Structure 1
Amino acid sequence: MRLRLALAIAAALVLSGPGLAVDRGEAQHLGSFTWRGSQPWFGGFSAIEMTPDGMGMTVLSDRATILTARLRRDGDQIIGVEIDAVHKVRSSKNKVLKGRVGDSEGLAIGPDGVIYISFEGVARVARYARPDAPAVVLPRPDAFRHMARNGAFEGLAMDARGRLYTLPESSRAADGSIPVYRWDGRAWSTAFHLEQLGGFLPVAADFGPDGRFYVLERDTGAIGFRSRLRRWNVTAKGITGEEILFQSRLAAHDNLEGMSVWRDGQGRLRATMVSDDNFLMLQRTELVEYLLPD
């Protein structure tokens, strides 16, 4: 698997370039920044949450590391990253998570600063009062206990009412649709289902400042990755108004896995995404931004 990913990224580095980002959709590619670090924990970034001003971010690695950082910008372009703090994600017993139980993939931060993280290796969602605090694991219904080992919760989002939404990468309902689970503070329920289109799998989710539900999806091919961003209106009866905002060309970006939707100082909707380099030298950690239609 790692060799296949390495070959895919080698091809991506050759094939990507200006003007080759979007295959379809109305979103506009603003820019891509290669973020480099030499620390042993640097890499594997699978989730991102932007601050409202777009100048700060919280980033989660799939090896149980969470960090905060500030961005340097020149107009619409990211030109640098300055890391503020780094913490290891902990268990409910205040032990550093390792191995399969530490496969941390999704991130949501409440207005009170409380952090929620979804996990893939052992399907669950946990609450953290602070980045260095012990976990409080939310109840795990039967549906969570029977998911594919490498196909559980990559995406996690919080709506304006503080409810959490998570969805599995590859575990599916009986009809092949993607179940979206909602935590209302007391129990989990199935909020709605998304149609799976083509070979794309969901890897990140967010509620934008417009109140719509956004899902970032990825397709892995023999010579690179493709990414797609969809959004919906969420109503009491389910979802409506599906839109494909962008679908990238093959190898336009690295392995995008994290996504945060926010509104910039000009009132424009933006999506900031981060790539998971799988800790492979041939891959790169990218911060990629798109301007979204309202």
Structure 2
Amino acid sequence: MFRRIAAAIAIFVVAGSALVFTEIQSEPAGGPFAIYAEPVPLRSAEPDNREIGALRYLGGWVLSSEDPDFGGISAMARDGDGFVAIGDAGGVFRFALDDAGAISRADIGMLPAGPIPEGGGDVQKRDRDAEAMAFDPQTGRYWVAFERANGFWRYDREFSASDANNAPEAMDDWPNNGGAEAMVRLDDGRFLVFSEAGNGPGDSREVLLFASDPSVAGEAPVRLGYSPPAEYRITDAALLPDGRLLVLNRFFSVLEGVSVILSLVELGELQDGAILTGTPIARFDPPMTIDNMEALVVEEREGRTIIWMASDDNFNPLQRTLLLRFALDDE
């Protein structure tokens, strides 16, 4: 998805662009874990300035690894005391860290199954372009949505096997590199799936509402739309405890770099043809510590709503995998 402009990013960074947000240097060696974490401020010039819109910065880290399979994080979930993240080359990353950022466990694996090339042959990384994920803590099931294949695969909690997959006809016309980018499992078991670039009602991007498990063939989904901020595209979404939706939107240009807007969306009745719109609550621009933010997680902790964001480094040495943590203060 974002990789199509990775070369432009590389040129832009080398040329001295604002995409080089801080001078943090990571030294990933000497520890027993597959993933390392180095702290990073939100604003390197103002490390004590932690407010941004309706958010308060609680801490952030640059994640790194000596394993070449690590990177490309496109979606993430909270499972127990740790995280499970997927990459857009088929990687599965499990890790836990304490409030100070100390890694307590971490491992790196690959999806055990997924889309295969249409013409046959060996599976390539592009065939496992995972861009969205949903998790049900009650059953331990994970659902992963793939671009290019425009379909869903369901996995067990350990990502040791897949027991269902489906490529819905309603997604056939989604762009090859602009398909399912965000997926949310609602409390009643329905699924919202957001296209990055597929055409929805009016000038919106298409959203599909599945009545049940999208990895199993069933009734046709309800067609909706999502209207992101002008020139931005959705990269992930997560359900808040009060039923509102938090949406991560990203903008990129060679001249301006990366910008991120976090928006709140009231879901309402979700009727056919409805267009979802959001209210921005925080905007991240250079020289803040941001990158290609693609993963969003919400959790409740001690009466507070905690928001986590992670970035896709495109396996580009000039980009970083960031993990940023905030408290939502609009409540």
TM-score of the superposition, structure 2-length normalised? Answer: 0.77
SS at match of 2:243: coil
Note closer, same or farther for the CA distance 1:5–1:34 as it changes in structure 2 (3 Å cut): same
Where do residues 118-267 of structure 1 align in structure 2 (5 Å cutoff)? 118-130=145-157, 131-134=159-162, 136-141=164-169, 143-173=170-200, 175-185=202-212, 186-190=218-222, 192-222=224-254, 223-237=256-270, 242-252=278-288, 253-265=290-302, 267=303
SS at match of 1:229: strand
Q: Name the aligned partner's letter for residue 18 of structure 2.
A: A
Matched, 1:65 2:91: yes
CA contact (8 A) 1:178 1:195 kept: yes
Note closer, same or farther for the CA distance 1:81–1:41 as it changes in structure 2 (3 Å cut): farther
CA contact (8 A) 1:109 1:116 kept: yes
SS at match of 1:68: strand
The percentage of counterpart residues that share the same residue type is 22
CA distances 1:36-83 after superposition (whole Å, capped 9, x unpaired) = 10101011011111236xx31110000111122111223xxx343631
1:183 Cα offset (Å): 1.5
Segments of 4+ in structure 1 off by > 6 A? 20-24
User: Which residue of 88, 105, 112 corresponds with 2:131?
Assistant: 105
- Structure 1 CA distance, aligned partners of 2:307 and 2:223? 24
* Structure 1: 5+ residue stretches without partners: none
TM-score of the superposition, structure 1-length normalised? Answer: 0.86
Which segment drifts farther, 61-70 or 276-285? Answer: 61-70
- Structure 1 CA distance, aligned partners of 2:53 and 2:230? 16
- Structure 2 CA distance, aligned partners of 1:8 and 1:72? 35
- Structure 2 CA distance, aligned partners of 1:271 and 1:91? 29
1:51 alignment partner in structure 2: 79
SS at match of 1:146: coil
- Structure 1 CA distance, aligned partners of 2:287 and 2:251? 10
2:40 alignment partner in structure 1: none
- Structure 1 CA distance, aligned partners of 2:50 and 2:172? 38
- Structure 2 CA distance, aligned partners of 1:73 and 1:178? 37
Note closer, same or farther for the CA distance 1:154–1:242 as it changes in structure 2 (3 Å cut): closer
Note closer, same or farther for the CA distance 1:283–1:92 as it changes in structure 2 (3 Å cut): closer
Note closer, same or farther for the CA distance 1:284–1:139 as it changes in structure 2 (3 Å cut): closer
SS at match of 2:198: coil
Q: Name the aligned partner's letter for residue 236 of structure 2.
A: A
Note closer, same or farther for the CA distance 1:286–1:211 as it changes in structure 2 (3 Å cut): same
1:12 alignment partner in structure 2: 19
CA contact (8 A) 1:73 1:80 kept: no
- Structure 2 CA distance, aligned partners of 1:64 and 1:210? 32
Matched, 1:276 2:280: no
1:98 Cα offset (Å): 2.9
Note closer, same or farther for the CA distance 1:92–1:103 as it changes in structure 2 (3 Å cut): closer
CA distances 1:75-97 after superposition (whole Å, capped 9, x unpaired) = xxx3436314633241379x995
1:224 Cα offset (Å): 2.4
* Structure 2: 5+ residue stretches without partners: 23-42, 213-217
SS at match of 2:127: helix
Matched, 1:3 2:34: no
Note closer, same or farther for the CA distance 1:19–1:183 as it changes in structure 2 (3 Å cut): farther
Which segment drifts farther, 162-171 or 173-182? Answer: 173-182
The higher-RCO structure (CA 8 Å, 6+ apart) is 1
1:286 alignment partner in structure 2: 322
- Structure 1 CA distance, aligned partners of 2:99 and 2:51? 27
Larger Rg: 2
SS at match of 2:203: coil
CA contact (8 A) 2:91 2:108 kept: no
Note closer, same or farther for the CA distance 1:159–1:17 as it changes in structure 2 (3 Å cut): same
CA contact (8 A) 2:133 2:183 kept: yes
